[in-house]
Amino acid sequence: MHHFKQNFISQRFADIVKALKAEKKINSYAQLAKNLNYRPQSLNEILKGRRNVNIEVLYQFFQNYTVDPRQLFDTFHSSEELQDNKEGNASHLPANPFPRIKFIESSQILNWMLNYNDPSFYENLHHIEIPIKKDEGQDFISICYGGNMMHPTLEHNDILIAKKKNVSSGELTNGEIYIVLSLHGLHILRLDEYSDDNKIILQGDNQSKIKLQIHESEIHAMYQVTAKITPKLGNQ
């Protein structure tokens, strides 16, 4: 039997909701579900760790209740620390605790391919801020996805968060999605195999199942996709 593992944001959401209930800022979970325009049964599953919260619920939650968003998204401090800080009982927390991730826009991809090893290129990029460990922030880039090779896993205009990997040091994992800069261009595909003759074999998720082979010596850089931000709202 598959064991469901609730994600971190959903766990934080459940903790905050239970705290608001204990403080009598929420009269009942049924009333909360009504305010969120959400099914009481689904809300109950979130509170019991059996379902993940979706973006529509979070939007309604912040519209209806006075809650510091950092209590939900800040991975560097506990909920108790954030609540204490809100009440003036703890040392000041940084106004923006999230690391800045370099964002490569679609119009900059060609320039990136030509200047991937030039520090000045990265200095002029815009940034986005997401809740990841600060000490890992320098290893990450973000990029806007285009194309259909990874459909339905990735959709056009998804923003991908990716961490740089060393090709020759055994850091690559079969089955993961990678951004690959090579002599052949830029590819965003799933790693099917790292062969004994030092070739990486990449494949898309769409129905074409076309495979691409690139020798290690032809690769400029590889980034493993660790997360995506999609502009589409999901249905749950």
In sequence order, which residues have a C-beta less than 8 Å from that of residue 235 and are 6 or more positions away? 54
pLDDT of 89 reads 40
pLDDT value at position 92?
A: 40
Name which of 10-24, 47-61, 88-102, 173-187 the model is least confident about: 88-102
The total number of residues written for the chain in this structure: 236
Q: Looking only at Cα atoms, what is the longest distance across the chain?
A: 65
Provide the pLDDT confidence category of residue 91 given band limits of 50, 70 and 90: very low
Which residue spans within 56-131 are E strands per DSSP? 100-104, 126-129
- Residue 221 is given by DSSP the state E
Q: Do residues 58 and 64 touch, judged by C-beta distance below 8 A?
A: no
pLDDT above 90: residue 32: yes
Residue with tokens 């990678």: 178
pLDDT of residue 232: 60
Please report where in the chains the tokens 């934080």 appear, as a residue.
12
pLDDT, average across residues 63-81 = 67
**SS3 label, residue 189:** strand
Of residues 24 and 84, which shows the higher confidence score? 24
Where does the pLDDT of residue 74 fall: very low under 50, low under 70, confident under 90, or very high at 90 and above? low
The answer on pLDDT for 176 being more than 90 is: yes
What are the pLDDT digits (tens) for 179-236? 999 999 999 999 999 988 999 999 999 888 789 999 999 999 999 998 888 766 544 4
Supply φ then ψ for residue 227, to 5 degrees: -165, 160
1 falls in which pLDDT band (50, 70, 90)?
A: very low
Q: For residue 197, what are the contacts with CB-CB under 8 A and spacing of at least 6?
A: none
CA distance 162 to 127: 14
Report pLDDT for 80: 53
Residue 75 has pLDDT above 70, yes or no: no
Q: Full-prediction pTM beyond 0.85?
A: no
Mind listing the pLDDT tens digit for each residue in 131-159?
665 454 458 889 999 888 998 899 888 88
Supply the pLDDT for residue 34. Answer: 94
The pLDDT value given to residue 95: 47
b/e map 135-161, b = 16+ CB within 10 Å: eebeebbbbbbeeebbeeebbeebbbb
Strands (E), the chain: 100-104, 126-129, 140-144, 159-165, 177-182, 185-194, 199-203, 211-215, 219-229
pLDDT for position 157: 86
Q: Can you tell me the distance from the alpha carbon of 114 to that of 133, in angstroms, rounded to the nearest whole number?
A: 29
Q: Which amino acid is at 89?
A: N
Q: What percent of the chain has pLDDT over 90?
A: 37
Rg (CA), the chain: 21
24, two tokens: 């009598």
